[in-house]
Amino acid sequence: MKKKVLVLCTGNSCRSIIAEALINNYLDGIEAKSSGVKASGKVNPNAKKVLEEFNIWSDKYYSKTLDKVIDEKFDLIVTVCDNAKQTCPIFPRPIPKLHISFMDPAGKEYNSFIKTYNEIKKQLLPQVKDYFDAK
């Protein structure tokens, strides 16, 4: 049975979408979804472009509000920005949390999205894997 991870950020348009795609593509046995505490309702075009460039984009990735995922049973919540960490909602059952903050590339040049992608891949993936390996 796959472990389930919720990646949470503010707008759910860049960092959390990238992290969701990376987890789903590189961590066997782990399924990720993402959401925003104040979801923008759209995926940033540059975030989508980065995921397409690395061949891990899927149409199943979209900007979601918390009400779309709050009742799902997650094994871990990963917050990828300080605002999401501070405003992380109370879920119906206690869920362990991991916080790894990344720069928001929104409004910056495309290279910032590539940098964020690489940082998430390098930092977040090993920590999520290690968390579940320790269980």
Phi, psi of 13 (to 5 degrees): -125, -20
Among candidates 114, 110, 115, 84, which has minimal Cα distance to 97?
84
Q: Which residues are catalytic?
A: 9, 81, 88
Q: Which residue has the tokens 């980065």?
A: 50
Q: Are 86 and 36 in contact (CB under 8 A)?
A: no
Token pair recorded at residue 7: 């990646």
First to last CA, the chain: 14
In 3-state terms, the chain is what percent helix, strand and coil (to 5)? Answer: 40, 15, 45
